[in-house]
Structure 1
């Protein structure tokens, strides 16, 4: 492979250093890219975490998002294997786009989308990034434990 075709796969970090939304974006991109089995696993994750209806919507957003990248990308997105701890340059851009969109930073998401797909498809990619990012945000939100109604001081170890 030439340097131009592998540039997007250059390691730029580690998955462990990402926020849960960023890491989820990369992991689900990798799962989707692995084919039918990976997509089925992703759909199962969404169903468990979000319920059947919202899980199906999350999978639909992921499918549209990744399909748009695959069919209208400036070039193929380079990704690492599902079990790899590295974060590639393309994966980092994808993760940042999803995270920005999930936080309502639409202009940032649009700028990153324009790096991934042709400019005429960037608005659609940014919109799908927001849908998927919000689903990931719902998945990473901790389920509150029932309380007795009174406050307890937080424990600080260090």
Structure 2
């Protein structure tokens, strides 16, 4: 979705930045948006070919979008070799390490956005069964 938003122009990028800021706070949100911007710019300027993306409302997942998402997921999980392999499919080989590194940055931010918020620990244990 963020690849699609970035490619949609100024308003799409503003929407992505807003999502990041809401979920991660101002400073981390700006850092995540900078990672997305650098990642997508690198693909746009040094890609083997233009990435094909679907429209914002489309429920399809294109091959390029899938490769992009899988690269980010692999990088954020620590599978750097896999991320490098996918990056080399997207950009020239000399830019693949930078793309994999940016993928890790963005992937970790996305993981923070979807991580469950821990409940405060009071030491209190709820009863085994609770009635109205």
Which residue does 2:10 correspond to in 1? 36
TM-score, with length taken from structure 2: 0.92
Larger radius of gyration: 2
The 1:78–1:151 alpha-carbon spacing in structure 2 relative to 1, beyond 3 Å, is: farther
Q: What residue ranges of structure 2 are gaps of 5+ in the alignment?
A: 127-132
Q: How big is the alpha-carbon RMSD for the aligned residues of Structure 1 and Structure 2?
A: 1.4
The yes-or-no answer on 1:125 pairing with 2:63 is no
Whole-angstrom CA distance in 1 between matches of 2:82 and 2:125: 38
Q: What residue ranges of structure 1 are gaps of 5+ in the alignment?
A: 1-26, 153-158
What's the offset of the Cα at 1:149? 3.2
Give secondary structure in 2 for the equivalent of 1:86. Answer: coil
TM-score, with length taken from structure 1: 0.77
The yes-or-no answer on 1:91 pairing with 2:62 is no
Give secondary structure in 1 for the equivalent of 2:94. Answer: helix
Whole-angstrom CA distance in 2 between matches of 1:69 and 1:53: 25
Instruction: Give the alignment of 1:8-157 within 5 angstroms.
Output: 27-149=1-123
